[in-house]
Amino acid sequence: MKPWDGIVSEEEQRAYAAAGFGKPTGLGKRPALIIIDVQYRTVGTKPLPFSEAIKEFPTSCGQVGWDAVANIQKLLETFRANDWPVLYPHVAPKEGFDAGRLADKVPALMTVKRSGYEFVAELAPQDKDILLPKKHPSAFFGTPLASYLIDLGVDTLVMTGCSTSGCVRSSVVDGFAYNWRINVPHDAVYDRSRVSHAVNLFDMGAKYADVMSTDETIAALSRLAAGKAD
């Protein structure tokens, strides 16, 4: 069962399939793991329902974020074991000069406690990982992400993190536009809206990315590591 089943109608899914959307592109030879905005401000300091989590951090997604963290951990272990690159695009603490249109739309971003910007401990970066502070939704906009990926010889991006409909989606679209292969493990990304999460996964899977489960992604990565093409 796909995460959009029951939300995107069967008729609409058939229409996209009939038009030829959604063909898998597969993995290349050199993947990188992109962990977007997995900070305490997006999950809270402990697993809680959304209604409770936003009392600590208004920008928290709650339990769904922690569910995704567990799956990102699995992916991170696979990447570490194979010495593949791991990059962390993340929102830096907001300052007064950051008050632009994003702050106009989401004023709560300007009031997040400094502790909210810390990386979730279970996914803490290591010395060789690349940290990329960003000011806008896309991990590519105004950052040297593309330059790092080219230098590392990366041809495939495994996109994880928050939020599915915001920073993940915009990064997926930009990465696709640069011609990278994109993989989105649907249970390793998260959003405060179940509907937005599902609809954006459906649309990304149709147009820009291979959308599959974490376990399916790890299986494909394991075949790649063993030198077995899909």
pLDDT of the residue at 97: 77
Tens of each residue's pLDDT in the chain, 230 residues? 899 999 999 999 999 999 999 999 999 999 999 999 999 999 999 999 999 999 999 999 999 999 999 999 999 999 999 999 999 999 988 777 776 787 788 777 777 888 999 999 999 999 999 999 999 999 999 999 999 999 999 999 999 999 999 999 999 999 999 999 999 999 999 999 999 999 999 999 999 999 999 999 999 999 999 987 66
pLDDT of the residue at 69: 98
pLDDT of the residue at 229: 61
- Three-state SS at 211: strand
Domains delineated in the chain: 29-225 (3.40.50.850)
Site of tokens 């599915």: 164
List CB contacts of 174: < 8 A, sequence separation 6 or more: 138, 139, 140, 141
pTM over 0.85: yes
